[in-house]
């Protein structure tokens, strides 16, 4: 602000995980402009909620839903995110950190949030492909890739993480065996009785549990095929997940000469042995203790931020944490000294028929530990009693039956004090949630999440947040999940709008807006392109495309670049080109002095830096050589990537290049909800990377495998297998049918990966694979629509070149 102020201090954060970014948020909340900030992350994307990987694995939520900070979040705050580059060295003399690719950043304050590494058992075969840990989204993807029918997985470790992994894999339909070295599961959270009940519940779900099972070796030649136990038994395994614990990640700190024990040693202000370097999260060791749960780490983040911004001298005090198992349908909670050391008393309730077990441990008339299994409804109340250290002698005889019976006035959330913690992950008390509901007029759980962060991490307090909303709003609160409106101009969701267009035969954007009661005269930049697409898809033969409702790229038929110039990509069918085309491109590049020419990931040639007014002439020249628009700019069919196939390759089993050309000839020009990328590989070596494409074809000896809904973007998603077919005609029919189903059902700007995750691959298979009549109908509708879309937009645009130039010059 002040021109004379000294340069901003430089803060570097090593670790783009939950602890590091939570601390960053706390810092920004205290002093938004104090630092020039750089974040290094070893994983190649923004920050996501690692706690929620288990529900992603189980298919109960998607990766997109657990991303908490995408690239835009950093960009909007002017924070430099260096994702996909691990830091390999700290130079404490010069105060620099150096990344594995050589990136160097100077710091005034350095925050280490390197987290922890999963422990790999040092058994023979542990390094075989197919042996993994459960730590990152990449691990989840590896597990999901292994979830083929008939596959066997072995999970080593019957603790919290191991059981969540096992449950997730089982939900995905494969056989799972859990190995645990001790006699009872989750011994750090459960007593023997509740552990026995948990085991029975898991076995009832079809999991195999082997206790006192020690792994001797992992078997396999090229990849894992099995596992041998110490007692000689052998288990079949296509996937082995090691979930035997974590170890603070300290290599970087140790190499830098910082004091390191089990973790990076920190004092109560979270400072390491070098006062310019702080540490937070699972990498630290504080008073001899390491950490693996989220609640204490959030507390550390606050202390860290206080120290770094110098707004307060706060100190981290270890506090007791509670644990829940994120397995849907299993209700458990555990906290404190639940086993009961000497000098403590316990009160136990058991109802074996209902599957309920509760154990409360008291010492000196105070609650010091609790295990609840089968009914954890009052967990928050017990946890508050535990943390507050209140004397419970007066209600001891009724303590097991919850607050209502114990004589606490009203039941449920109404009974809680304002200081009572609702969201353990984020440390949000009841009073703050009620305050936010009143102050900002919040009416939904999502709004509470956005405003207070309550229930935004593991989500297990969502029920309590709902209850608070109900308590605060009375009947005005509607707990039913609401459909997200398309945008702020309407209350209707995407599906309702599409249904109305179809049912009421709405023909134009203004008519649709009028009919559905839009609140704005002509919508906004979100709904207009969506409506334009929906109308185009519904009425391919009669709808008049509204250019003013298209993003500039689709209006200009070229990709806008950050300096306002455009990039031009001609279509090359199946990636094939010729001397004539290359010569024409070379001529265009020279004639218009195009600064950059690059080969794209989809095997096309991109000319970058074309000025707007040059576009029509560039297109005219390319058209003259027989080339048409490559639609590299559109929510449309982009490219069909191919390998050389059986024509040239000694491994090729089919002519993948010709197949790619045929598919591209059929599909080009199609407008779709989002961009669509295809590929055809000539053998299972998959050189065209078909398994990360929207529709990927892989040749096998007996025909073709058809894969759908892959994505190579921020989050790599491997395709789901749609079907295996034997003829070329079937490949084309399935491809058209899938694209048409996606065109008709996906929300605008929803990639096939998200679309298929939303509706499920079973839904897609039911409509395309098992219903031949429906497949033929979809195929027919696609080809009908293509009759009107396969016109080269460049050719049409080049006829009105004036549109691209300045209208006038006035000086």
Partner 1 sequence: MNAVSEVRLTWREVGTLDDFPRQGARTVATAIGTVAIFRTLDDQFFALEDSCPHKAGRLSQGIVHGHFVTCPLHNWVIGLSDGVAAEPDEGCTRTVPVRLDGHRVLLAAPM
Minimum distance, C-beta of residue 523 to partner 1, in the bound complex (Å): 6
Backbone phi and psi for residue 544, each to the nearest 5 degrees, phi listed first: -95, 110
Four-residue CA torsion sign, 580, 585, 589, 595: negative
Question: Is residue 86 close enough to count as binding partner 1 by CB under 8 A?
Answer: no
How many residues make contact with partner 1 (CB under 8 A)? 27
Per-residue tokens: 200: 């029975």
Check if the beta carbon of residue 41 is closer than 8 Å to that of residue 17: yes
| Near partner 1 in 528-547, by CB under 8 A | 528-529, 547
Four-residue CA torsion sign, 596, 600, 605, 609: negative
Check if the beta carbon of residue 120 is closer than 8 Å to that of residue 240: no
How wide is the angle at C-alpha 579 spanned by C-alphas 576 and 584, nearest 5°? 100
Query: In angstroms, rounded to a whole number, what is the distance separating the alpha carbons of residues 169 and 166?
Result: 5
Near partner 1 by CB under 8 A: residue from 521, 599, 773, 800: 521
Write down the H helix ranges in 539-655.
Answer: 552-556, 579-591, 615-624
Burial of 600 (0-12, 13-18, 19+ CB in 10 A): middle
Near partner 1 by CB under 8 A: residue from 366, 555, 620, 758: 555
Closest CA to 801 of 552, 547, 562, 620: 620
Question: Is residue 608 close enough to count as binding partner 1 by CB under 8 A?
Answer: no
Question: Is residue 552 close enough to count as binding partner 1 by CB under 8 A?
Answer: yes
Q: Which stretch binds partner 1 (CB under 8 A): 191-199, 434-442, 515-523, 741-749?
A: 515-523
Minimum distance, C-beta of residue 114 to partner 1, in the bound complex (Å): 32
Side by side, the strands of the sheet bearing 332-336 are: 322-323, 332-336, 366-373, 356-363, 345-351
| Near partner 1 in 58-77, by CB under 8 A | 72
Minimum distance, C-beta of residue 513 to partner 1, in the bound complex (Å): 11
Q: How far is CA 164 from the centre of its chain?
A: 17
Minimum distance, C-beta of residue 21 to partner 1, in the bound complex (Å): 20
Query: In angstroms, rounded to a whole number, what is the distance separating the alpha carbons of residues 316 and 303?
Result: 6
Minimum distance, C-beta of residue 808 to partner 1, in the bound complex (Å): 4
Check if the beta carbon of residue 699 is closer than 8 Å to that of residue 768: no
Q: How many other CB atoms are there within 10 angstroms of residue 409's CB atom?
A: 8
Minimum distance, C-beta of residue 806 to partner 1, in the bound complex (Å): 5
Q: Give 236 or 451: the residue with its C-beta nearer to partner 1.
A: 451
Q: Give 430 or 528: the residue with its C-beta nearer to partner 1.
A: 528
Near partner 1 by CB under 8 A: residue from 287, 522, 776, 791: 522
Q: Which stretch binds partner 1 (CB under 8 A): 3-11, 19-27, 119-127, 521-529?
A: 521-529
Question: Is residue 579 close enough to count as binding partner 1 by CB under 8 A?
Answer: no
Q: Which long-range contacts (CB under 8 A, 24 or more apart) does 463-466 make?
A: 464/380, 464/413, 464/422, 465/422, 465/423, 465/433
Q: Give 247 or 451: the residue with its C-beta nearer to partner 1.
A: 451
Q: Give 281 or 523: the residue with its C-beta nearer to partner 1.
A: 523
DSSP state of 44: S
- Match 């007692």 to its residue by tokens: 231
Q: Which stretch binds partner 1 (CB under 8 A): 78-86, 523-531, 686-694, 753-761?
A: 523-531
Write down the H helix ranges in 389-427.
Answer: 402-405
Q: Give 312 or 547: the residue with its C-beta nearer to partner 1.
A: 547
Near partner 1 by CB under 8 A: residue from 549, 672, 690, 753: 549
Near partner 1 by CB under 8 A: residue from 288, 548, 701, 773: 548
Question: Is residue 1 close enough to count as binding partner 1 by CB under 8 A?
Answer: no
How many Å is the Cα radius of gyration of the chain?
30
Q: Give 3 or 525: the residue with its C-beta nearer to partner 1.
A: 525
Q: Give 541 or 806: the residue with its C-beta nearer to partner 1.
A: 806
Minimum distance, C-beta of residue 532 to partner 1, in the bound complex (Å): 10
Query: In angstroms, rounded to a whole number, what is the distance separating the alpha carbons of residues 198 and 166?
Result: 13
Q: Give 298 or 633: the residue with its C-beta nearer to partner 1.
A: 633
Minimum distance, C-beta of residue 525 to partner 1, in the bound complex (Å): 3
- Contacts of residue 777, defined as CB under 8 A and 6 or more positions apart, other chains included, come to none
Minimum distance, C-beta of residue 779 to partner 1, in the bound complex (Å): 34
Closest CA to 159 of 188, 125, 126, 130: 188
DSSP state of 425: T
Near partner 1 by CB under 8 A: residue from 564, 579, 599, 701: 564
Question: Is residue 204 close enough to count as binding partner 1 by CB under 8 A?
Answer: no
Check if the beta carbon of residue 29 is closer than 8 Å to that of residue 73: no
Check if the beta carbon of residue 430 is closer than 8 Å to that of residue 418: yes
Q: Give 86 or 447: the residue with its C-beta nearer to partner 1.
A: 447
Question: Is residue 562 close enough to count as binding partner 1 by CB under 8 A?
Answer: yes
Query: In angstroms, rounded to a whole number, what is the distance separating the alpha carbons of residues 476 and 464?
Result: 17
Minimum distance, C-beta of residue 485 to partner 1, in the bound complex (Å): 16
Check if the beta carbon of residue 121 is closer than 8 Å to that of residue 242: yes
Near partner 1 by CB under 8 A: residue from 36, 186, 556, 722: 556
Minimum distance, C-beta of residue 519 to partner 1, in the bound complex (Å): 11
The full 3-state SS of 163-211, as one line of letters, equals HHHHHHHHHCCCEEEEECCCCCCCCCCCCHHHHHHHHHHHHHCCCEEEC
- Contacts of residue 526, defined as CB under 8 A and 6 or more positions apart, other chains included, come to 486, 487, 488, 489
Q: Which stretch binds partner 1 (CB under 8 A): 235-243, 446-454, 514-522, 718-726?
A: 514-522
Near partner 1 by CB under 8 A: residue from 3, 525, 579, 599: 525
Near partner 1 by CB under 8 A: residue from 28, 560, 749, 761: 560
CA contacts within 13 A on the Cβ side of 790: 11
| Near partner 1 in 792-811, by CB under 8 A | 806-811
DSSP state of 629: B
Minimum distance, C-beta of residue 78 to partner 1, in the bound complex (Å): 11
- Contacts of residue 481, defined as CB under 8 A and 6 or more positions apart, other chains included, come to none
Q: Are β-strands 80-83 and 35-41 bridged in parallel, bridged antiparallel, or unpaired?
A: parallel
Near partner 1 by CB under 8 A: residue from 551, 623, 644, 714: 551
Check if the beta carbon of residue 452 is closer than 8 Å to that of residue 487: no
- Contacts of residue 770, defined as CB under 8 A and 6 or more positions apart, other chains included, come to none
Minimum distance, C-beta of residue 538 to partner 1, in the bound complex (Å): 21
Q: Give 92 or 803: the residue with its C-beta nearer to partner 1.
A: 803
Question: Is residue 524 close enough to count as binding partner 1 by CB under 8 A?
Answer: yes
Q: Give 511 or 553: the residue with its C-beta nearer to partner 1.
A: 553
Q: Which stretch binds partner 1 (CB under 8 A): 127-135, 241-249, 554-562, 710-718?
A: 554-562
Minimum distance, C-beta of residue 564 to partner 1, in the bound complex (Å): 5
Question: Is residue 520 close enough to count as binding partner 1 by CB under 8 A?
Answer: yes
| Near partner 1 in 583-602, by CB under 8 A | none
Minimum distance, C-beta of residue 528 to partner 1, in the bound complex (Å): 6
Residues that bind partner 1 (CB under 8 A): 72, 520-525, 528-529, 547-553, 555-556, 560, 562, 564, 806-811
């Amino acid at each position: 602000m002040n021109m004379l102020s000294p340069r901003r201090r430089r803060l570097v954060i090593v670790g783009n995980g939950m602890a590091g970014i939570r601390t960053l948020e706390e810092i920004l909340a205290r002093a938004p402009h104090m630092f020039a900030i750089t974040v290094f992350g070893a994983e190649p994307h923004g920050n996501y909620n690692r706690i929620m990987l288990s529900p992603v694995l189980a298919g109960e939520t998607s990766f997109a839903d657990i991303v908490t900070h995408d690239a835009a979040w950093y960009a909007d705050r002017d924070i430099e995110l260096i994702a996909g580059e691990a830091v390999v060295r700290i130079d404490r003399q010069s105060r620099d950190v150096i990344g594995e690719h050589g990136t160097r950043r100077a710091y005034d304050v350095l925050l280490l949030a390197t987290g922890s590494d999963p422990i790999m058992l040092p058994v023979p075969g542990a390094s075989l492909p197919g042996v993994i840990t459960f730590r990152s989204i990449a691990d989840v993807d590896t597990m999901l890739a292994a979830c083929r029918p008939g596959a066997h997985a072995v999970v080593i470790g019957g603790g919290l993480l191991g059981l969540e992994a096992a449950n997730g894999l089982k939900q995905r339909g494969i056989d799972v065996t859990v190995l645990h070295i001790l006699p009872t599961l989750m011994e750090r959270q459960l007593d023997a009785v509740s552990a026995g009940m948990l085991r029975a519940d898991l076995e009832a779900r079809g999991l195999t549990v082997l206790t006192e099972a020690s792994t001797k070796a992992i078997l396999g030649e090229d990849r894992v095929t099995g596992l041998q136990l110490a007692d000689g038994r052998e288990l079949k395994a296509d996937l082995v997940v090691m979930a035997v614990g974590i170890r603070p990640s300290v290599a970087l700190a140790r190499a830098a000469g910082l004091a390191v024990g089990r973790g990076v040693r920190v004092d109560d202000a979270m400072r390491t042995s070098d006062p310019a370097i702080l540490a937070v999260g699972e990498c630290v060791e504080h008073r001899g203790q390491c950490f693996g749960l989220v609640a204490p780490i959030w507390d550390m983040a606050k202390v860290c931020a206080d120290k770094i911004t110098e707004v307060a001298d706060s100190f981290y005090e270890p506090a007791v944490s509670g644990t829940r198992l994120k397995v849907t349908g299993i209700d458990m909670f555990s906290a404190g000294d639940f086993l009961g050391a000497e000098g403590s008393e316990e009160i136990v309730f058991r109802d074996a028929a209902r599957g309920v077990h509760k154990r409360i441990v008291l010492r000196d008339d105070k609650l010091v530990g609790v295990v609840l299994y089968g009914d954890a409804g009052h967990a928050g109340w017990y946890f508050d009693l535990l943390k507050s250290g209140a004397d419970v002698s007066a209600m001891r005889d009724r303590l097991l039956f919850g607050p209502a019976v114990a004589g606490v006035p009203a039941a449920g959330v109404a009974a809680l004090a304002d200081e009572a913690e609702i969201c353990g992950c984020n440390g949000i008390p009841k009073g703050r949630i009620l305050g936010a509901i009143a102050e900002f007029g919040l009416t939904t759980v999502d709004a509470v999440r956005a405003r207070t962060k309550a229930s935004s991490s593991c989500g297990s307090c969502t029920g309590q947040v709902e209850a608070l909303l109900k308590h605060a709003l009375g009947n005005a609160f509607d707990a039913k999940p609401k459909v997200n409106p398309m945008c702020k101009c309407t209350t209707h969701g995407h599906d309702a709008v599409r249904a109305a267009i179809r049912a009421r035969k709405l023909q134009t954007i203004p008519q649709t807006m009028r009919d559905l009661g839009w609140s704005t005269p002509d919508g906004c930049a979100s709904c207009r392109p969506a409506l334009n697409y929906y109308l185009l898809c519904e009425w391919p033969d009669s709808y008049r495309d509204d250019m003013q409702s298209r993003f500039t790229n689709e209006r200009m038929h070229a990709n806008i670049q950050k300096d306002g110039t455009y990039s031009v990509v001609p279509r090359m069918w199946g990636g094939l080109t010729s001397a004539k085309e290359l010569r024409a491109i070379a001529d265009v590049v020279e004639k218009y002095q195009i600064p950059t020419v690059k080969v794209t990931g989809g095997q096309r040639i991109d000319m970058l830096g074309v000025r707007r007014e040059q576009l029509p002439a560039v297109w005219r020249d390319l058209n003259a050589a027989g080339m048409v628009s490559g639609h590299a700019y559109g929510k449309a069919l982009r490219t069909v990537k191919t390998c050389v196939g059986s024509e040239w390759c000694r491994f090729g089993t089919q002519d993948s290049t010709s197949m790619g050309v045929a598919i591209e000839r059929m599909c080009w020009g199609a407008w779709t909800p989002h961009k669509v990328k295809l590929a055809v590989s000539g053998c299972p070596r998959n050189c065209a990377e078909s398994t990360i494409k929207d529709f990927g074809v892989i040749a096998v000896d007996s025909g073709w495998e058809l894969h759908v809904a892959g994505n190579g973007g921020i989050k790599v998603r491997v395709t789901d297998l749609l079907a295996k077919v034997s003829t070329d005609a079937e490949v084309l029919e399935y491809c058209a049918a899938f694209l048409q189903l996606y065109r008709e059902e996906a929300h605008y700007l929803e990639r096939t990966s998200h679309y298929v995750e939303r509706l499920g691959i079973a839904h897609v298979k039911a409509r395309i694979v098992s219903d031949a009549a429906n497949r033929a109908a979809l195929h027919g509708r696609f080809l009908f629509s293509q009759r009107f879309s396969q016109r080269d937009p460049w050719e049409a645009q080049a006829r009105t070149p004036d549109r691209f130039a300045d209208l006038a010059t006035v000086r």
